Amino acid sequence: MKLAAFVTSVALFGCVDGPSGSEPEDQQTGRLAANGLSSGNFLNALQGGIYNPAMLTPTTMAGMTNTANRQATAVYVIGCALATGHNIVYNSVTYQGAIGLADNWTSGSLTTAQQQLVTSCVLSRVNYFARTVEISVRGPISPQYDNTTTELANYTGEEGAFWGNIFVSTGTINACEGVDETANPSWGNFVSRVCAEPDPNNPGYTLCGFVNHGSCTTACTDDSAGYYTGCSSHEGAYSEVTTVYDSLP
């Protein structure tokens, strides 16, 4: 069987539509990012198996995009992993790099730390309502998660933190609720961002189907810089965590 066309590009200009049902990443900055991956698409994508951490090739891309749900999720996996301007063209679809948490994926396999980083980034972009809402993502990763003074001033509501590993069979997908969302989940964009909130109909999980670890202040180490690290899970602690802040009225 002939493999589908696969191209990497250092700088690809022009408007290219992503896969149907997905929202493209905000290309201006990795810290302020649009999100619109529905929790239904994401969870159904995981039913197709783990994502392959091996070097990106036509073979690995085939496994990442072999259903509509996995294709929609791949937009965010690639967006989190590759840097802005580092794009993948596969089966006539352009997957745009945005954050650059594992920009070497086109030349080698992801390390365990990179797997966890990309996973936490993808989880932070899942939206229960499939709405596109701009969020501020934070963590100790520089320069990818460096935040401007304006961003810190405009995005003051701590939504929660996300961590896990979608690249190994023993991995889980996890979330905890931030102090501000716990205090008032109806503030600002919290009403459109509920993946860190507990699901009353499914105890132990959030509304987006992530393992619920309650308050971030007990599930994770609270860093004085405004983000969480060292979050717990059933299989052990994760050091690679993405913390999300939302805009408030």
pLDDT in tens, 82-104: 999 999 999 999 999 999 999 99
C-alpha R_g of the chain:
17
**Per the omega criterion (within 30 degrees of 0), is the bond before 143 cis?**
yes
| 113 Rama class: left (phi>0) / alpha (psi -120 to 50) / beta | alpha
Structure tokens of 224? Answer: 């004085």
DSSP letters for 185-224: TTSGGGGG--TTSB-TTSTTBBTTSPEEEEEHHHHSEEET
Supply the DSSP symbol for 85: T
Using the predicted structure, report yes or no on whether residue 35 has a pLDDT greater than 80. Answer: no
Residue 186: strand, helix, or coil? coil
In this prediction, residue 186 carries a pLDDT of 83
Using the predicted structure, report yes or no on whether residue 11 has a pLDDT greater than 90. Answer: no
Alpha-carbon distance of 165 to 127, in angstroms, equals 18
Structure tokens of 108? Answer: 């080698």
Predicted confidence band of residue 240 (pLDDT cuts 50, 70, 90): very high
For residue range 213-230, list pLDDT tens digits in order. Answer: 999 999 999 877 889 989
Residue type, 108: G
Alpha-carbon distance of 81 to 60, in angstroms, equals 14
Neighbours of 106 (CB within 10 A): 17
Q: For the residues 194-220, what does the mean pLDDT come to?
A: 95
C-beta separation of 232 from 172 below 8 A: no
Using the predicted structure, report yes or no on whether residue 184 has a pLDDT greater than 90. Answer: no
C-beta separation of 198 from 206 below 8 A: yes
Q: Diameter of the chain by CA atoms? A: 56
For residue range 125-174, list pLDDT tens digits in order. Answer: 999 998 888 999 999 999 999 999 999 999 999 999 999 999 999 889 99
Any residues with CB less than 8 A from the CB of 145 and at least 6 apart, and which? Answer: 30, 31, 137, 138, 139, 227, 242
In this prediction, residue 34 carries a pLDDT of 57
User: Higher pLDDT residue, 11 or 207?
Assistant: 207
For residue range 36-85, list pLDDT tens digits in order. Answer: 799 999 999 999 899 999 999 999 999 999 999 999 999 999 999 999 99
Using the predicted structure, report yes or no on whether residue 21 has a pLDDT greater than 70. Answer: no
In this prediction, residue 203 carries a pLDDT of 95
C-beta separation of 51 from 158 below 8 A: no
In this prediction, residue 26 carries a pLDDT of 38
In this prediction, residue 124 carries a pLDDT of 95
